[in-house]
Amino acid sequence: MKRIGLLTSGGDCQALNAAMRGVVKSLVNSGEQIELYGFLDGYRGLIYGEYRMLDISDFSGILTRGGTILGTSRVPFKTIREPDEDGRDKVESMKHSYYKLRLDCLVILGGNGTHKTANLLREEGLNIVTLPKTIDNDLWGTDMTFGFQSAVDIATQTIDYIHTTADSHGRVFIVEIMGHKVGFLPLNAGMAGGADIILIPEIPYDIDKIVDAIELRKKRGAKFTIIVVAEGAISKQDAKLSKKEYKEKVAKAKYPSVSYEIAEKIQKKTGKEVRVTVPGHIQRGGAPDSYDRVFASRLGSEAGKLILKGEYGFMVGYKNREIVKVPLDEVAGKLKSLDPNAAIIKEAKMLGISFGD
Amino acid sequence: MKRIGLLTSGGDCQALNAAMRGVVKSLVNSGEQIELYGFLDGYRGLIYGEYRMLDISDFSGILTRGGTILGTSRVPFKTIREPDEDGRDKVESMKHSYYKLRLDCLVILGGNGTHKTANLLREEGLNIVTLPKTIDNDLWGTDMTFGFQSAVDIATQTIDYIHTTADSHGRVFIVEIMGHKVGFLPLNAGMAGGADIILIPEIPYDIDKIVDAIELRKKRGAKFTIIVVAEGAISKQDAKLSKKEYKEKVAKAKYPSVSYEIAEKIQKKTGKEVRVTVPGHIQRGGAPDSYDRVFASRLGSEAGKLILKGEYGFMVGYKNREIVKVPLDEVAGKLKSLDPNAAIIKEAKMLGISFGD
Amino acid sequence: MKRIGLLTSGGDCQALNAAMRGVVKSLVNSGEQIELYGFLDGYRGLIYGEYRMLDISDFSGILTRGGTILGTSRVPFKTIREPDEDGRDKVESMKHSYYKLRLDCLVILGGNGTHKTANLLREEGLNIVTLPKTIDNDLWGTDMTFGFQSAVDIATQTIDYIHTTADSHGRVFIVEIMGHKVGFLPLNAGMAGGADIILIPEIPYDIDKIVDAIELRKKRGAKFTIIVVAEGAISKQDAKLSKKEYKEKVAKAKYPSVSYEIAEKIQKKTGKEVRVTVPGHIQRGGAPDSYDRVFASRLGSEAGKLILKGEYGFMVGYKNREIVKVPLDEVAGKLKSLDPNAAIIKEAKMLGISFGD
Amino acid sequence: MKRIGLLTSGGDCQALNAAMRGVVKSLVNSGEQIELYGFLDGYRGLIYGEYRMLDISDFSGILTRGGTILGTSRVPFKTIREPDEDGRDKVESMKHSYYKLRLDCLVILGGNGTHKTANLLREEGLNIVTLPKTIDNDLWGTDMTFGFQSAVDIATQTIDYIHTTADSHGRVFIVEIMGHKVGFLPLNAGMAGGADIILIPEIPYDIDKIVDAIELRKKRGAKFTIIVVAEGAISKQDAKLSKKEYKEKVAKAKYPSVSYEIAEKIQKKTGKEVRVTVPGHIQRGGAPDSYDRVFASRLGSEAGKLILKGEYGFMVGYKNREIVKVPLDEVAGKLKSLDPNAAIIKEAKMLGISFGD
């Protein structure tokens, strides 16, 4: 008999439900007796002891459903050691919930921030297994995260929609794709959507190079240009600023996001009207695609296996086409970034895509 | 033998190509000899004599393709009688193109603005047949326009995506849907997407009523609220301003669109974070849905029939489930608006949707 | 206080849940106290007294979900007056369930067969309100049924998929679309999918005319031909047979469906390989499209209104763009069919579509 | 200056155009002068010298388009050394076309059969580069082929559609998914679609085990069961037959495919009606998904790189997340099959999926 807690933390994404279903199905099918405690709204539920008992029927039919049946929230790692508004010790509260329910294990689904806290709980002595969730695919220790491919699908669809209107009107269009620190999502969506220019955090851009690329397209007879801009795209000048200086600059910015600034600069230099589209939160919404459903189910079933064997302190990841376990202390606090010299970047350049560098 | 010009004008939308294919297929299949002249980028092409010869193969495979193979642009009716930058008389230039190519007829696809100019050309003696294109469904003289249902699909899909993330995070989400003057699109997308509150230009809102609706949902156990806001949503106070006063107010507005203002007000009154999503131009992009493909093809084929019979000066419209011809001078300059007391509004209210009134 | 039964009967389709949600939401929002009894698996549940109590939360989140949360089954009207296997009087059993639960009204969602039984229950004195569900759009008394437009979407998507492979291989492809007695679905899907030939029950075909149409396309340079065949497509010869003779012929047929026979005949006459695709049940599956969600919600809310007013014995239908109530005895037993001389057929022919006649 | 031939051979699939666009874009962007010859309908075009000159504009806008702009056909490797109907030596004819156009290289996109012929042409001295296309993902030498993930998407969507109707009617449903020899596609689509039972060629089934799995589900309260059957699913008894014996058995089979036989057997043993859906060719149709667009573009760009370097005799493949070149003679004639003990099979079993073994 195993008593297992489950929680989803951080920004939601596709296939969270599929992954939890995988964990639970594999435990149930093993014949092991289990009791399931679903903490509500991420670490919040663990801190405040808010949970609901779950059974297998709660996981029926959710393979295809977006979001998370447990709810989620962001509880920043930075302040996890600080007391909450009511003076409550958050870490002690989480441990209290765990021990009070006499849990054998806590399964945590989340991204970078989530993993830092998960590792802290491991250090505090809790049995933890985690699953790598993020549309950014920037988790260290795994080649792939679930949510990523589904987000690429939606971002690509957005670019597809813009393509017809850009073509009809002969316009320059910017599509801003999620990705504050890493460019996997904008890069893949841009390549899939046939973007002409892709600006990612890893490759600071030069506005003149962007204008050159637009003019070159015009010279070759193209009526329109589509630019994918990562949320965290940065110019060469700004890349030289210190973190603090850059933050101050952003705080003072006239526009809600970097795309509008880039649009304004291009407009000034080319005299052409530039339109901006910001699909935003839709990129983390909707049903998971077939890839993520299979992938998250596989990861979930392996998490179930670890629990059955009593192997704790791991994230279940994916390396060289195999599902693997990765020690949590190796994962926590590290970011997987996109090498600006990666093969895929070179291939994209060979396809004629400009990175503004 | 007929010499026929074609042009698409105004904002692009889905099924423009399907409609043109319908016109051309019906002409070709009639056995009539035809010559086709496609003017580029809307009335611009007619003014500057820019066109390309088309044949039936140009219309093969475009039934499903979004945008317009002819390109489009906005040439405002307001200034149509004024000379262009080079001093050219725009109306005379258009007539010149028409007569120089010895056209029998000009087929024009467009929305409200387009129809004003189309009617002017008719008054000037040209043979005109038009087709009703707009995602807003606000053209007078027809129950339906093509583009509308496809735009409802995309807007609904956006709301669906937001639904999963709103639910997971327990947030208030605003989705801004196209519709500056009329609310058909936001209303239908809102109903299809299960929005809780829908704000449309026809029903000025009271911010307190919106807050009430959010609180009521909370009281009934709902974690989240989804608000669809039409681009042209307006508060009861602002609705009392003169056009001029309102324009000045908008010009001074802090935010790029009304949704952000509404979000800020709700945030202040409820203390809850409100997220805004603006899908924007994607609503007019992508392939037409099955409804619009059939509808636009039918309209197109009827336009072909009118041309074969030499009946000019009409828009092909849809009334009480029949394709009809509507005199252009009846259409031009009129807006079809949504009656705030229409059955569909009452039904929406019965479903529990608040309009903030 | 109202006690209301709900059941869905016949083949399932999209938007059944949306329609029920509409009924329930409008009742709940009226302030009326209600008790909801959901009979399981259509009339079966009513006969055997199998139901579950429902509350408003059961209808949350089902606007977008395909199928029916109540389950459905086919209980043929033909034998409704005959006792069941256990000798039970089915009609009396249904009345018993109704009276035992002291229902004020029974809301029935279904198609043609369902409406016959619904009318019988009305004749027996029960308070009945019905909603028109069928992907075939063949219900008398309403211009539109829910399920239809969603099925057109899926059927069209199937044809779209086949289009690319037909084009690549230069093949003749048959896509068999649902429609045993009426051709609305195959006609609309065929037009939306750009089919070259459409065979529907209302227009008996001549195989030589089909071959002519294929050859004509070839002559004009087309590599491939796409034929949409309704399940109930019938040749001119067979159309002359009596119902009994035709049934016997079908019973002896070599192939599981008419498409394979037509394929074989074309193959013999043209020497070309003909491929057949039968999407089958997928046409009634999946989430309702935006059109059906709005439409079914509107119908549902109007049904709620009738119940509140105590107006029973009606189907809620749609006529000339208005939601209307239609007396059940007018609806029952009648089929709405597609006039072979309807405007849409003529328009399709003008577009170059052959009906094999 | 390079003169390059292109051809697509075998069954079409998604992303063929994307891959060719990748090749051509990378060549054009390299600055190398190129001349492009597109052979029509696969090896047929090469044999009969049918081609058309292509330029960069032919590859504009085709990233998202399904099928192949060059057409395709099946020219069986088995008889490639035999003369054609007119006594023509097919291999010599292909060489003749190649040398007559003074090609520097021939780029061939195809699957298993295609690669055998490609290798033969290499052995005959032609410069060949190939790209791995197949929805079956059964090509030796590459972890992934393009078309596969898009086909999984469509097959999964089909299962999703069936899910709602299976659930509503409480039925056993069989969905037959492509895969004559290998089970990657049915396995992944089955897992993504939440199938309860998956039958693949690699794991012969026992009909009683299938019935057991259905009964177990029923006992646990499930109303319905979804079975994914690969085209090449085989029973344990039949797996013992010699190839010849099995072929004879299949030739005599009553039904057009194995699914109907399995359905009949289940029906006999359970007394339950079993429905069969065969999506067929739609699985290779439609636009490529975002994954395949990126993947095929990357492979294409690497093929371009090989051509620029004059490295011939390779297939461009994908190994351990890197684009690699694989000698053609290693690829030709080998099948990549799915190990019945692969981790993914074990994981699927942990999720409760039965393979009928």
Residues of chain A with Cβ-Cβ distance to B151 below 8 Å are: none
Tokens 């008398």 locate to C140
Percentage above 90 pLDDT, chain C? 94
CA distance D343 to chain C (A): 31
Question: Over the stretch D281-322, which tens digit does the pLDDT of each residue have?
Answer: 999 999 999 999 999 999 999 999 999 999 999 999 999 999
Q: Which residues contact B356 (CB under 8 A, 6 or more apart)?
A: B197, B199, B203, B205, B206, B207, B209, B210, B213
Say how far apart CA A52 and CA A45 lie, in whole Å. 10
Q: What is the mean pLDDT of residues C339-343?
A: 96
Interface touch B290/C350, C-beta < 8 Å:
no
Q: What distances in angstroms separate CA A41 from CA A11, A18, A86, B193, C67, one per listed residue? A: 11, 17, 19, 24, 30
Distance from first CA to last CA of chain C, Å, rounded?
Answer: 58
Residues of chain D with Cβ-Cβ distance to C133 below 8 Å are: none
Interface touch D290/A28, C-beta < 8 Å:
no
A163-A166-A172-A178 Cα dihedral, nearest 10 degrees: -40
CATH number (3.40.640.10, 3.40.50.460, 3.30.420.10, 3.40.50.10490) of A149-284+340-350 reads 3.40.50.460
Nearest by Cα to D63 from B206, A348, A7, B176: A348
Residues of chain B with Cβ-Cβ distance to A20 below 8 Å are: none
Within chain A, where are the H helices?
16-29, 43-47, 90-100, 112-123, 148-169, 184-192, 207-219, 236-239, 243-252, 258-270, 290-309, 328-331, 343-350
Question: Over the stretch D109-159, which tens digit does the pLDDT of each residue have?
Answer: 999 999 999 999 999 999 999 999 999 999 999 999 999 999 999 999 999
* D191 vs A191, A289, A297: nearest CB: A297
Predicted local distance difference test score (pLDDT) of residue D273:
87
- How does the average pLDDT of chain A come out, rounded? 96
Predicted local distance difference test score (pLDDT) of residue D250:
87
Please tell me which residue of chain A has the smallest CA distance to D322: A343
Q: Which residues contact A281 (CB under 8 A, 6 or more apart)?
A: B161, B162, B165, B173, B275, B277
Please tell me which residue of chain A has the smallest CA distance to D303: A347
Residue A173: strand, helix, or coil: strand
Residues of chain A with Cβ-Cβ distance to B167 below 8 Å are: 67, 71
Interface touch D168/C67, C-beta < 8 Å:
yes
Touching D (3+ Cβ pairs <8 A), the chains are A, C
CA distance B188 to chain C (A): 7
* C67 vs D72, D167, D275: nearest CB: D167
Residues of chain B with Cβ-Cβ distance to A66 below 8 Å are: 161, 164-165
Question: Over the stretch C64-94, which tens digit does the pLDDT of each residue have?
Answer: 999 999 999 999 999 999 999 899 999 999 9
Predicted local distance difference test score (pLDDT) of residue A318:
97
Q: What is the 3-state secondary structure (H, E, C) of D270-318?
A: HCCCEEEEECHHHHHCCCCCHHHHHHHHHHHHHHHHHHHHCCCCEEEEE
Q: Is the pLDDT of residue A255 over 90?
A: no
* C347 vs B302, B320, B351: nearest CB: B302
CA distance A313 to chain D (A): 21
For CA atoms A175, A179, A182, A186, the dihedral sign is negative
Predicted local distance difference test score (pLDDT) of residue C250:
87
Predicted local distance difference test score (pLDDT) of residue D233:
97
Q: Is the pLDDT of residue A155 over 90?
A: yes
Distance from first CA to last CA of chain A, Å, rounded?
Answer: 58
Q: Does this chain's domain A2-147+288-331 share its CATH topology with A149-284+340-350?
A: yes
Which CATH topology does D150-284+340-350 take? Rossmann fold (3.40.50)
Say how far apart CA C302 and CA C131 lie, in whole Å. 10
Interface-testing mutation among A161, A259, A273, with chain B (most B C-beta atoms within 10 A): A161
Within B142-277, where are the H helices?
148-169, 184-193, 207-219, 236-239, 243-251, 258-270
Contact C9, C117 (CB under 8 A): yes
Q: Is the pLDDT of residue D181 over 90?
A: yes
- A2-147+288-331 domain in CATH 3.40.50.450? yes
* D164 vs C162, C279, C286: nearest CB: C286
- Provide the annotated active-site residues of B: 136
Per-residue pLDDT of chain B (357 residues; tens, 9 = 90+): 999 999 999 999 999 999 999 999 999 999 999 999 999 999 999 999 999 999 999 999 999 999 999 999 999 999 999 999 899 999 999 999 999 999 999 999 999 999 999 999 999 999 999 999 999 999 999 999 999 999 999 999 999 999 999 999 999 999 999 999 999 999 999 999 999 999 999 999 999 999 999 999 999 999 899 999 999 999 999 999 999 999 999 888 888 889 999 999 999 999 888 999 999 999 999 999 999 999 999 999 999 999 999 999 999 999 999 999 999 999 998 999 999 999 999 999 999 999 999
Neighbours of C219 (CB within 10 A): 8
* A164 vs B67, B164, B223: nearest CB: B67
Distance from first CA to last CA of chain B, Å, rounded?
Answer: 58
Predicted local distance difference test score (pLDDT) of residue D206:
98
Q: Is the pLDDT of residue A310 over 90?
A: yes
Kindly report which listed range (B152-161, C100-109, D87-96, D247-256) carries the lowest average pLDDT score: D247-256
Q: What CATH homologous superfamily does B151-284+340-350 map to?
A: Phosphofructokinase domain (3.40.50.460)
Contact C326, C315 (CB under 8 A): yes
Max CA distance (Å), chain C = 70
Contact D146, D288 (CB under 8 A): yes
For CA atoms A152, A158, A161, A167, the dihedral sign is negative
Predicted local distance difference test score (pLDDT) of residue B251:
87
Q: Whats the size of chain C, residue-wise? A: 357
Which CATH topology does C2-147+286-331 take? Rossmann fold (3.40.50)
- How does the average pLDDT of chain D come out, rounded? 96
Q: Chain C, 50-79: which have a CB under 8 Å from a chain D CB?
A: 65-68, 71-73
Interface touch A351/D22, C-beta < 8 Å:
yes
Interface touch B189/C343, C-beta < 8 Å:
no
Catalytic residue among C41, C136, C153, C292: C136
Please tell me which residue of chain A has the smallest CA distance to D61: A194
Q: Chain A, 225-284: which have a CB under 8 Å from a chain D CB?
A: none
Touching B (3+ Cβ pairs <8 A), the chains are A, C
| Residue B343 in tokens | 């059955």
* A293 vs D26, D192, D290: nearest CB: D192
Interface touch B26/C343, C-beta < 8 Å:
no
Confidence of residue C102 (pLDDT cuts 50, 70, 90): very high
Q: Is the pLDDT of residue C48 over 90?
A: yes
Interface touch D191/A293, C-beta < 8 Å:
yes
Interface touch A282/B65, C-beta < 8 Å:
no
Residue boundaries of the structural domains of chain D: 2-147+288-331, 150-284+340-350
CA distance B241 to chain A (A): 28
Q: What distances in angstroms separate CA C93 from CA A237, A340, B99, C7, C83, one per listed residue? A: 81, 73, 78, 15, 10
Q: What is the mean pLDDT of residues C47-59?
A: 96
Question: Over the stretch C288-315, which tens digit does the pLDDT of each residue have?
Answer: 999 999 999 999 999 999 999 999 999 9
* Interface C:D, Cβ pairs < 8 A: 120
Please tell me which residue of chain B has the smallest CA distance to C350: B26
Q: Is the pLDDT of residue A253 over 90?
A: no
Contact B10, B42 (CB under 8 A): yes
